[in-house]
Amino acid sequence: MLAKGTHDHWDDGACMMWDGARDSDGYGRIGKNRKRAHRDSWERANGRSVPDGMVVMHACDNPPCVNPMHLVVGTVADNNRDRHAKGRSKNLFTSGSDHPAKVHRGQAHWRAKLTDNDVRIIRSRHRLGETQATIAADFKINAATVSRIVRRVWRQEVT
């Protein structure tokens, strides 16, 4: 199932986008067993199954692409090295030093919900006697997060 207007041939280098069901990572899924569409595309183009223990990787780094010219077979280790080399790793940081959580702290962290000013307000409100549960509800965060902030376990850099 390709998007309307996609190419019927593979030699022009364009991605062929899957327009059917996709998983949370953006990969196309087929049928009840939810087979990945790019894997099926590789198998159809090559007339054989993907060898046991191997995965189908995207040279184009575009998860919904099913263009067989963009798909290569490799090991899980090959796929992990490729992902890491292209900066798409989530948890493959050898020393931990280049993990986004260590590179960007505080409100610059990629998952931060609170600004530095929010942290100051939380600490001030707690000093004035408000409960952690009330503060947490106002900021739509967990009371344990408020506790860690007021005890300076988290966001120590905020004065």
Q: Domain ranges in the chain? A: 1-92, 100-150
Looking at residue 54, what DSSP letter applies?
Answer: E
84 to 36, 60, 79, 95, 110: CA distances (angstroms): 22, 15, 9, 13, 18
User: Which pTM value belongs to this model?
Assistant: 0.51
| Residue written as token pair 């790793």 | 89
27 by DSSP, 3-state: which?
coil
User: 1-92 has which fold?
Assistant: Homing Intron 3 (I-Ppo) Encoded Endonuclease; Chain A (3.90.75)
pLDDT given for residue 3 in this prediction: 42
pLDDT given for residue 150 in this prediction: 96
The residues, ordered by sequence, that sit 6+ positions from 63 with a Cβ below 8 Å of its Cβ are 22, 25, 26, 27, 28, 38
Chain centre distance of CA 153: 27
Instruction: Per residue of the chain (159 residues), give pLDDT as tens.
Output: 444 334 445 555 788 989 888 888 888 999 877 889 999 999 999 999 999 999 999 988 888 999 999 999 999 999 988 887 877 766 545 555 555 545 567 887 667 889 999 999 999 999 999 999 999 999 999 999 999 999 999 898 898
